[in-house]
């Protein structure tokens, strides 16, 4: 049985941890509102961007002359997977859910005998994937120094992807991230961005007719690179909101668990203290009777 001094130290330690987790929960709650607003504002823009590209692609008469970012290389041999996670931990199963979704996709690609390449955005994803897929990771990108999610970081990732595509280093590119639903629920997503998956985006396509100037091919050649950065930016915004929601939930659970542990330790401390007092009284009484 632990001594009274040990129990007292444990109670003090758990109370200190409880103060930290409570503070982290409040910080995450403050950041969540802004991150959630940004994620919700980014969704219509990314959907409209995909909608315009789909309408433009439908107007192209010669499909063979369409930009490679839209039509692809015509092969499916090399897959590039961009796994977007956080740079910080203490956010429950946020990173683990993205990694689980990605690993399931990786296994499918490898079992089909296709080549796999991985780019990790965020140190936590790299830490978890390098154990099993270290030889597949070709680049690790971290934005630890960035205070907030911004388009310039997404554009940096987008330029790296486009540069590798122009060098024929892959045929298909898929990004993995968490879509924010609420504080408790974040849904892992796998979105193909090269070539543009018209099946996934078909629900966003409308029958509106547009008159384009200049030609569709020229517009697409300028719009498609921006769309890749836009889709990555949307994924990063969704991830940011999901991360804060997951951290808020995790710290709330940790604070509650710390409170329960303090109560149990306090009861144990009181019982041990009472047992020590009772033992001393018995010893005093026994000594008095012997005299």
When mean pLDDT is compared across 66-70, 85-89, 270-274, the lowest value belongs to 66-70
Q: DSSP assignment, residue 64?
A: G
What pLDDT does 156 receive?
93
Q: Are residue 243 and residue 261 in the same domain, yes or no?
A: no
Residue 202 has a pLDDT of 47
Asked whether residue 104 falls in the same domain as residue 12, the answer is no
Q: Are residues 124 and 59 in the same domain?
A: yes
The C-alpha torsion from 142 through 146 and 151 to 152, rounded to 10°, is -80
Can you give the CATH number for the domain in which 80 is found? Answer: 3.40.1380.10
Tokens of 16: 């200190």
**Mean pLDDT along residues 285-289:** 78
Range of the domain at 101: 24-250
221 or 29: whose pLDDT is higher?
29
In this structure, are 42 and 89 located in the same domain?
A: yes
Entry field: residues in the chain: 291
Q: Return the active site residues.
A: 91
Q: Report if residue 291 sits inside a domain.
A: no
Q: Within this chain, do residues 268 and 193 fall inside the same structural domain, yes or no? A: no
**Torsion sign, CA atoms 83, 88, 94, 99:** positive
Domain match, 266 and 196 both = no
Q: What is the largest CA-CA distance in the chain?
A: 114
* SS3 category, 3: coil
Q: Which residues contact 32 (CB under 8 A, 6 or more apart)?
A: 183, 241, 244, 245, 248
Q: Write the pLDDT tens digit of every residue in 16-66.
A: 999 999 999 999 999 999 999 999 998 898 888 888 888 777 766 665 667
Give the whole-angstrom CA distance, residue 55 versus residue 53. 5
- Per the structure, the count of domains in the chain is 2
Q: Are 175 and 98 in contact (CB under 8 A)?
A: no
Q: Is residue 155 part of a domain?
A: yes
Which pLDDT score, from 0 to 100, does residue 48 have? 87
The whole-angstrom separation of Cα 201 and Cα 220 is: 16
Q: What is the pTM of this model?
A: 0.86
136 pLDDT more than 60: yes
Average pLDDT of the residues in 253-262: 95
> Would you state the pLDDT for residue 63?
57
Give pLDDT tens digits for 167-206: 999 999 999 999 999 888 999 999 999 988 766 554 444 5
Residues whose CB is less than 8 angstroms from the CB of residue 201 and which lie 6 or more positions away in sequence, other chains included: 50, 51, 54
User: Do residues 62 and 200 share a domain?
Assistant: yes
Q: How many whole angstroms separate alpha carbon 90 and alpha carbon 140?
A: 21
Does residue 257 share a domain with residue 238? no
């Amino acid at each position: 049985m632990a001594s009274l001094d040990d129990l007292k130290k444990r109670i003090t330690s758990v109370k200190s941890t409880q103060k930290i987790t409570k503070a982290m929960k409040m910080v995450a709650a403050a950041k969540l509102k802004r991150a959630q607003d940004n994620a919700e504002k980014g969704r219509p823009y990314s959907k409209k961007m995909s909608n315009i590209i789909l309408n433009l692609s439908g107007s192209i008469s010669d499909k063979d002359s369409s930009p490679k970012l839209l039509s692809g290389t015509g092969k499916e041999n090399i897959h590039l997977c961009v796994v977007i996670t956080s740079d910080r931990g203490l956010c429950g199963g946020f990173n683990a859910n993205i990694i689980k979704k990605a690993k399931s996709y990786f296994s499918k690609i490898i079992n089909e005998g296709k080549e796999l390449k991985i780019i990790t955005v965020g140190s936590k994803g790299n830490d978890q994937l390098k154990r099993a897929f270290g030889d597949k990771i070709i680049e690790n990108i971290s934005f630890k120094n960035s205070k907030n999610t911004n388009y310039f970081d997404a554009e940096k990732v987008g330029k790296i992807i486009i540069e590798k595509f122009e060098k024929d280093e892959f045929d298909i590119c898929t990004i993995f991230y968490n879509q924010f639903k609420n504080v408790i629920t974040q849904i892992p997503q796998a979105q193909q961005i090269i070539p543009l998956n018209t099946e996934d985006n078909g629900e966003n396509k409308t029958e509106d007719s547009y008159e384009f100037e200049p030609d569709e091919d020229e517009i697409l050649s300028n719009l498609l690179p921006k769309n890749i950065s836009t889709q990555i930016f949307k994924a990063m915004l969704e991830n940011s909101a999901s991360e804060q929601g997951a951290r808020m939930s995790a710290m709330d659970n940790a604070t509650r668990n710390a409170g329960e542990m303090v109560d149990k330790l306090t009861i144990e401390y009181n019982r041990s203290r009472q047992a020590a007092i009772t033992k001393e009284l018995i010893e005093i009484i026994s000594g008095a009777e012997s005299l």
